[in-house]
Amino acid sequence: GQNIDQPTEMTATEGAIVQINCTYQTSGFNGLFWYQQHAGEAPTFLSYNVLDGLEEKGRFSSFLSRSKGYSYLLLKELQMKDSASYLCAVPSGSARQLTFGSGTQLTVLP
Amino acid sequence: GAVVSQHPSRVICKSGTSVKIECRSLDFQATTMFWYRQFPKKSLMLMATSNEGSKATYEQGVEKDKFLINHASLTLSTLTVTSAHPEDSSFYICSARDRTSGSSEQYFGPGTRLTVT
């Protein structure tokens, strides 16, 4: 089965940098996704990592270490609109269905 | 591209009635769609995997006779909540994977808020 852990809540200040960690245990690895979800809305895709290393995409970067079963999402120059839940997810099974972590609720303060 | 729609976005129904939620991939074909349920401030819980032209695969603990899934075409999957009860009130989200894509990426619909009174 799959087991995914991420912190429940984080708080940061506007303009700062925040790192949201995710550890996973999975039988077979087919990459790791990060999604952003605002309350009452569907998740939106942020990143997909399948190889080790850091991938940068504007203010958001995602890092993966397959040997450690570890990923993080790095958000720079935080804005108020970044307040949301951030979900890491891993695909598994023949249909590559996603198993989500519990989500990290990020609150950005002025 | 890669847009998934859901209808309705919100629905209120009385206990004992059935509600149908539609999930459509608008600009791509999806042999596989997924249905999730989400409680307030909780993560997405996979309910079932919907396969075009065949029976859905339900996750452990999800009653297949209560949550009927039909995937009759490459662009449409429906979830019917039968004999709804207040505890079925939740946010239901579908997603779809492009059949031509080799990746695991799923495109999510905007969700349906179900309230059972």
**pLDDT, tens only, B54-85:** 889 999 999 999 999 999 889 999 999 999 99
Cross-chain residue pair B46–A91, CB shorter than 8 Å: no
Q: Are B74 and B99 in contact (CB under 8 A)?
A: yes
pLDDT at B29 over 70: yes
Q: How confident is the model at residue B1 (pLDDT cuts 50, 70, 90)?
A: low
**Edge-to-edge order in the sheet of strand B76-81:** B4-7, B19-25, B76-81, B67-73
Q: In sequence order, what are the beta bridge partners of A23?
A: A5, A70
> For A53-89, what is each residue's pLDDT tens digit?
999 999 999 999 999 999 999 999 999 999 999 999 9
Chain A contact set for B41 (CB, 8 A): 105
Task: Provide, rounded to the nearest whole percent, the portion of chain A with pLDDT above 70.
Answer: 99
The whole-angstrom distance between B33's CA and the closest CA on chain A is: 9
Q: What is the DSSP letter of B86?
A: G
- Tell me the pairing of strands B4-7 and B10-13: unpaired
HEC profile of A31-76: CEEEEEECCCCCCEEEEEECCCEEEEECCEEEEEECCCCEEEEEEC
What is each CA distance from B49 to A14, A63, B2, B27, in whole angstroms?
A: 39, 29, 19, 20
User: Chain B residue with minimal CA distance to A48?
Assistant: B105
Residue A25 scores a pLDDT above 70: yes
From chain A, the residues in CB contact with B32 under 8 A are 95
Q: Which residues of chain B lie closer than 8 angstroms to A44, CB-CB?
A: 108
